Amino acid sequence: MSRLEIFAEADAVTPLAVHEDGAAIATALADIGVRFERWQADVALAEDADDAAVMAAYAGAIERLKAEGGYRAVDVVRMKPDHPDRAVLRRKFLAEHVHGEDEVRFFVEGEGLFTLRADGRVFNMLCVRDDLISVPAGTRHWFDMGPAPRFTAIRLFTNPEGWVARFTGDDIAERFPRHARVAA
């Protein structure tokens, strides 16, 4: 189940608010310019499905997003608990960073924790299958896939180079709840 926990930036222990209803999540995130919608990830993917198979299965959703946002590049991130680079990739995404473009993700399997920082607050957004999230360019955030990741997300970019991050150097991500605690 999708879950949003909102904290004051100075207090990583006591949430100011917790939402599990999709409409309430969308409203809370819209306050900081983040788009959140519940879509339908209704295609069962084969365990060995490659990126092309995932993109073909969701071609309609991809084309809709490309038309809406002018996205030129699309890729798929598919992580499983036995992925050989899972620890390295997790560390990379756990550091607070920003992008020069919106970060758009459609989760078609599994889950992952986006944490966003804006307006003196921290938003822990557990995204699950069927969730579409679009984080505006320049928004400070990090992502935790957990120590045993299991998710498939379609990513869209306006930059044909794909995922390009500028790390902030701030250690705030070390102070806030991680995927395992929020997902429990």
Judge whether 1 and 127 are in contact, CB under 8 Å.
no
Q: CA 98, CA 145: separation in Å to the nearest integer?
A: 18
Burial (CB < 10 A; 0-12, 13-18, 19+), residue 22, is middle
Q: CA 70, CA 180: separation in Å to the nearest integer?
A: 35
- What is 117-182 written as a DSSP string? EETTEEEEEEEETTEEEEEPTT-EEEEE--SS--EEEEEEESSTT----EE----GGGGS--HHHH
| Residue list, annotated binding site for Fe(2+) | 97, 99, 103, 141
| Residue list, annotated binding site for Ni(2+) | 97, 99, 103, 141
Provide the CB-side half-sphere exposure for 20 (13 A, CA).
3
CA 81 to chain centre: 18
Q: Give 142's strand partners.
A: 115
What is the CB neighbour count within 10 angstroms for residue 50? 12
| Residue list, annotated binding site | 97, 99, 103, 141
